[in-house]
């Protein structure tokens, strides 16, 4: 079903649609808050529709121009608010996030470099050479060492226990249980400056391989943190430039806002009728009161009585 609305230029339709427009704007503000532009990209569509109809009915091109400017200014203000919000977020990052993140990465890099140096000093040149200590017993065979690791799992008596498992390639090993509240998993942590953790399995050789991969992966981990530090430093410099960048459409917003203000004044949009002169209002009220009094008495007021005939007619009557 379609609804067609017809209006006639130069008639009372302009006034009627103006009333509907004001009512719709009030309802729109009530439903969406005091400042709808904070949460909506476009101004109220229904209000715009009524305003356009009013403009067509009145035949005044300034009303159509004002309607278009209302929409453009609202959008520009939203863009500016978004620009300012991003600028404040960058300022906050420059003060808090970036310095703290850069500090953490530098500390991590320094610790990983120490771990690598320590690992290199405790790794034999001969890759075939193997040595691991498990619960005080030294092993030179991977199979035996792997079996000893699995057997050591029974040394955990409680979920909160932490067992000093032994040492591998210079790194002390700790056996413990991670409890997420949903599941519990065995963990082996090797630590010098930083902790490096794996989840062991039930394969003797597989556990040795996992430990080797964990320690050898420290270099790759170091590279990732160096890259992250470089990214943070670059983002910091970009943020310093971006935070000083003005709103690119500031001039356009100022120009259109000024023109909209001129139109609002010319069309008396959002204004109130000028108050009547106090004396005029009192005189009007006085006349109204006298009329009512005389009407109740059955007497016509002088203002509503019939005007006397012309002087010529009176002369004819007398003669």
Whether residue 132 is contained in a domain is answered as yes
Q: Look at 154-163, 197-206, 244-253 and tell me which has the smallest mean pLDDT.
A: 154-163
pLDDT at 311 over 60: no
Whether residue 294 is contained in a domain is answered as no
Instruction: Give tens-digit pLDDT for 221-242.
Output: 999 999 999 999 999 999 999 9
pLDDT at 8 over 70: yes
b vs e for 270-287, b when ≥16 Cβ sit within 10 Å of the residue's Cβ?
eeeeeeeeeeeeeeeeee
Whether residue 107 is contained in a domain is answered as no
Number of domains, the chain: 1
Whether residue 98 is contained in a domain is answered as no
Residue 36: pLDDT band by 50, 70, 90 thresholds?
very low
Report residue 138 as tokens.
């030294």
Report residue 41 as tokens.
């990209």
Instruction: Give tens-digit pLDDT for 11-25.
Output: 657 667 766 776 776
How far, rounded to the nearest angstrom, does the alpha carbon of residue 154 sit from its chain's CA centroid?
52
Report residue 108 as tokens.
């991590």
Give the list of residues 6+ apart from residue 98 with CB closer than 8 angstroms, or none.
232, 235, 236, 239
Q: What is the DSSP letter of 248?
A: T
Whether residue 194 is contained in a domain is answered as yes
Q: Which of 62, 28, 63, 66 is nearest to 45 (CA)?
A: 28
- How far is Cα 113 from Cα 120, in angstroms, rounded to an integer? 11
Q: Identify which has the larger pLDDT, 76 or 31.
A: 76
Query: DSSP readout, 243-272?
Result: TTPPPTTHHHHHHHHHHHHHHHHHHTTT--
Instruction: Give tens-digit pLDDT for 45-66.
Output: 445 456 556 655 666 778 778 8
Distances (CA, A) of 151 to 131, 134, 190: 18, 10, 18
Q: Which of 253, 166, 257, 147 is nearest to 208 (CA)?
A: 147
- How far is Cα 60 from Cα 263, in angstroms, rounded to an integer? 12
Whether residue 222 is contained in a domain is answered as yes
Residue 302: pLDDT band by 50, 70, 90 thresholds?
very low
- How far is Cα 277 from Cα 4, in angstroms, rounded to an integer? 44
Whether residue 5 is contained in a domain is answered as no
Cα angle, residue 86 at apex, residues 81 and 91 outer, rounded to 5°: 125
Range of 176's domain?
A: 124-238
Q: Look at 63-67, 143-147, 294-298 and tell me which has the smallest mean pLDDT.
A: 294-298
Whether residue 249 is contained in a domain is answered as no
């Amino acid at each position: 079903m379609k609804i067609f609305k017809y209006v006639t230029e130069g008639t009372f339709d302009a006034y009627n649609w103006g009333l509907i427009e004001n009512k719709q704007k009030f309802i729109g503000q009530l439903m969406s808050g005091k400042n709808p532009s904070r949460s909506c990209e476009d101004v109220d569509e229904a209000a715009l529709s009524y305003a356009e109809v009013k403009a067509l009915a009145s035949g005044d091109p300034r009303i159509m121009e004002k309607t278009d400017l209302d929409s453009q200014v609202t959008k520009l203000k939203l863009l500016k608010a978004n620009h300012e919000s991003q600028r404040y977020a960058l300022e906050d990052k420059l003060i808090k996030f970036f310095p703290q993140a850069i500090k953490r990465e530098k500390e991590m890099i320094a610790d990983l470099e120490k771990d690598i140096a320590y690992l290199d000093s405790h790794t034999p040149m001969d890759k075939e050479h193997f040595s691991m200590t498990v619960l005080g017993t030294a092993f030179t065979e991977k199979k035996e060492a792997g079996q000893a690791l699995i057997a050591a799992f029974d040394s955990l008596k409680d979920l909160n226990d932490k067992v000093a498992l032994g040492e591998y390639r210079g790194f002390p090993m700790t056996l413990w249980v991670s409890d997420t509240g949903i599941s519990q998993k065995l963990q082996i942590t090797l630590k010098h400056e930083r902790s490096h953790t794996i989840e062991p399995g039930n394969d003797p050789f597989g556990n040795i391989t996992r430990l080797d991969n964990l320690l050898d992966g420290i270099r790759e981990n170091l590279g990732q943190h160096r890259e992250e530090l470089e990214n943070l430093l670059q983002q910091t410099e970009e943020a310093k430039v971006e935070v000083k960048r003005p709103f690119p459409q500031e001039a356009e917003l100022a120009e259109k806002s000024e023109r909209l203000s001129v139109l609002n004044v010319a069309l008396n949009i959002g204004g109130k009728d000028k108050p009547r002169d106090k004396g005029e209002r009192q005189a009007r009220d006085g006349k109204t009161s006298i009329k009512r009094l005389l009407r109740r008495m059955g007497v016509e007021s002088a203002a509503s009585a019939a005007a006397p005939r012309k002087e010529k007619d009176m002369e004819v009557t007398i003669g």
